[in-house]
Structure 1
Amino acid sequence: MSTSKTFVFRSSDNGTFKVEEAVALESQIIKHMIEDNCVNSIIHLPKVTSNILSKIIEYCKKHVKTPKSEERNSGNAFKTFDADFIKVDHYTLFNLILATKYLKF
């Protein structure tokens, strides 16, 4: 049994989230930080709150665990997930957009 490397994301309000490397690598910023050995096990994200970070992690986990070939074959399932994912209030949606831009997803 192999163990996947994990990182801890720390939000602006000090929330912590244990994240597998594959999920962390969805962010181009974090991917470059990892590749350049600029992080230890904790990655501080001072511009993202716990509420928003948890939603982003949820989204990334869903997309990481589903192979690209399966995604193409059952596109409707992803369209439904994505559509439901953004059914949030305007404030939350705005902050999701800002966070994804900041983290380059």
Structure 2
Amino acid sequence: MATPNEIPVAETIDNGNPEASEKKTRILTLRTSDDQEFEVPESAAVLSVTIKHILEDGCELRKIPLPVVDGRTLTRIIGYLTKHSDGGVSEEEKRNFDEEFVARAEMSALFDVVLAANYLDIKDLMDLVCQEIADRMQNKSVKWVRKTFCIENDFTPEEEKMIKEEHPWAWKDIESDDDD
């Protein structure tokens, strides 16, 4: 049985740092909502405040459950955490990784990552993905935003016309609803 200061793990790995060749990084097992299991270096996993608190609380879980994160989303997040926990990666490399991380993702995948990053309390990832979603929304039509975010239109055509007339500045540079 593990003591409160020990964290049960499946195995340990050398973290690749020459100064810490004696030091081993523990591997944590994360279990997703769809019952997939992922082994993640502790150094990467603790970038999640949620996981860090679980470990600090001395939980003796062999597998850390993530009930609101699916395997596909966790795969993306592990890639992010691994890149950002690697001390040998420059800030420029991290920025390039971040740009590619969000650029190649579909909007639905970004939504999943936002929800998971919120649950896992990974502020930098949350900020990154929210900014990408905001950038993609910029200058989009109302129709596009409603469709993308599954927002029901509860305005009558007359109400919409009145809003457009009262706030013409809000419609400047916006794509036409016919451009979907």
Check whether TM > 0.5.
yes
Secondary structure of 1:17's counterpart equals strand
Q: Does 1:86 align with 2:79?
A: no
- Unaligned 5+ segments in structure 1 are none
Residue 63 of structure 1, aligned match among 84, 87, 93: 84
- SS of corresponding position for 1:10: strand
TM-score with structure 2 length normalisation? 0.52
Higher relative contact order (CA 8 A, sep 6+): 1
Amino acid in structure 1 at the alignment position of 2:46: L
Tell me, yes or no, if structure 1 residue 9 matches structure 2 residue 30: yes
Deviation at 1:43, TM superposition (A): 0.3
Q: 1:58 to 1:39 in 2, by over 3 A?
A: farther
TM-score by length of 1: 0.87
Rounded to whole Å, the distance in 1 between the matches of 2:44 and 2:87 is: 12
Aligned to 2:39: 18
Tell me the equivalent position of 1:27: 48
Deviation at 1:39, TM superposition (A): 4.1
Q: Among 85, 94, 115, which residue is 1:98 paired with?
A: 115
Letter in 1 for 2:98: D
Match of 1:46 in 2: 67
Kept in 2, the 8 Å contact 1:23–1:61? The answer is: yes
**What is the CA–CA distance in structure 1 between the aligned matches of 2:95 and 2:23, rounded to whole Å?**
32
Question: Number of paired residues?
Answer: 100
Instruction: Specify the SS of the correspondent of 1:99.
Output: helix
In structure 2, distance between residues paired with 1:2 and 1:81: 27
Q: Alpha carbons of 1:5 and 1:91: their partners in 2 closer, same or farther (altered >3 Å)? A: same
Take 2:82 and 2:53, find their aligned partners in 1: how far apart are those partners?
A: 19
Which of structures 1 and 2 has the bigger CA Rg?
Answer: 2
